[in-house]
Amino acid sequence: MILSSASQDFKGKNNISSKVASKMPPEEEASRMGPTWGHGVGVVQGSKVLVVGCDGDILFENQTELVKLMREKVLSKDIPLNQSNNTWVRIFLPREALDHNSSTKLPLIVYFHGGGFILYSAASSNFHDVCANMAIDLHVIIVSVEYRLAPEHRLPAAYDDAMEALHWVKTTPDDWLRDYADLSNTFIMGVSSGGNIAYHAGLRASVEIDKLEHLVIRGLILHQPYFGGSQRTQSELRDNHPTLPLSVCDLMWELSLPIADRDHEYCNPKVGDGPQLLEKIKLLGWKVLVVGYDGDILFEHQIESAKLMREKGVSVVSQFGEGGYHGVDFVEPARAKALHVVLKNFILSSLVA
């Protein structure tokens, strides 16, 4: 077990990151927005790290203060999942859970990071900080999963790792989960490609529900989920996305799908066994939250996925905002705070006492 109080930053574990980066739009070197955390958003200016509140006030001016606040608010540790596959989980525990003599346990979120199936890690600073932030604001415990990346490990490897993580949560003797997590109120969540993984993990879990006893899933949270299809949408045809150009999107599918077909069931929720398996999710009574923005190149695919689930009788809460783009919650603190309100309301409405 590795205790971690500050994040590491692995920008991709394979040699594909440079290929994708060459297709990304240039970023400002001198000043870039970092991930939201706690009370504000991190802003890198040269070697200085600022944390800016939603009102524009500078809350902290250096990394030392940020790490100190993080240590005061949330604990994290890494535990191996499958050493043969080099997978592991990072658990986030709000420190307040240790400070209160209460028998009330916290809801659990099993979280999958984004990166188009080919980039990033549960240890990447963006995703570490987002999970720490959610653990504090939502009063939940988070298990962030380090899954295998394509193209070395094409889909469904990430789905296999997701299911292994769910079974690990069910059986682990880890004291944080044993003492503080309410496994009867579990949510599967992911952002971007992690949202795709959360969706497919949910489909698989609905079939294996008898094998997941003691782990009771209440819902899926699909944050700007990464879906697609062979038919180009209006958002894709505009191709004016500031962070996810169409060429990068296509490349990520090309590198991650087992065959070059964007109408594969891993990409397009309308094909394969997915629509039929949604009937099981309906019968289980799970709720699904889908969050998206109309400036996202994947927007129409997200709308269609929510529509499909509703047609199959699944209880769907959709939150589609205006003016945002793919990953906007990572760089605009006001949107991140608004997202947390949506997440908190969804979780509270789905809990079973």
3-state secondary structure at position 209: helix
Give the pLDDT score at 352.
74
Distances (CA, A) of 89 to 93, 147, 162, 234: 13, 9, 10, 38
The answer for 132, left when phi > 0, alpha when psi is -120 to 50, beta otherwise, is alpha
Q: Which of 154, 181, 16, 4 is nearest to 88 (CA)?
A: 4
**Cα 344 → chain centroid:** 15
In the CATH scheme, what is the homologous superfamily, with its name and number, of domain 2-28+74-350? Alpha/Beta hydrolase fold, catalytic domain (3.40.50.1820)
How many residues does the structure list for the chain? 353
What's the pLDDT score for residue 99? 76
Quote the pTM value.
0.84
Phi, psi (deg, nearest 5) at residue 107: -55, 155
Catalytic positions are 192, 296, 326
CA–CA gap between residue 2 and residue 150 (Å, rounded): 26
Give residue 60's pLDDT.
Answer: 46
Amino acid symbol at 11: K
Identify the residue whose tokens are 């000043």.
31
3-state secondary structure of 197: helix
Candidates 209, 226, 235; CA nearest to 291 is 226
pLDDT in 10s for each residue of the chain, 353 residues? 333 433 343 334 444 444 444 443 333 322 223 333 333 444 444 444 444 444 444 444 555 555 566 668 999 999 999 999 999 999 999 999 987 666 789 999 999 999 999 999 999 999 999 999 999 999 999 999 999 999 999 999 999 999 999 999 999 999 999 999 999 999 999 999 999 999 999 999 999 999 998 899 999 999 999 999 999 999 999 887 788 999 999 999 999 999 989 999 999 999 999 999 999 999 999 999 999 999 999 999 999 999 999 999 999 999 999 989 999 999 999 999 999 999 999 999 998 75
290 burial type by CB count under 10 A (0-12 exposed, 13-18 middle, 19+ buried)? buried
Look up residue 280 and give its two tokens.
Answer: 């099981």
d(CA 256, CA 262): 11
Spatial separation of the C-alpha atoms in residues 132 and 70, rounded to whole Å: 8
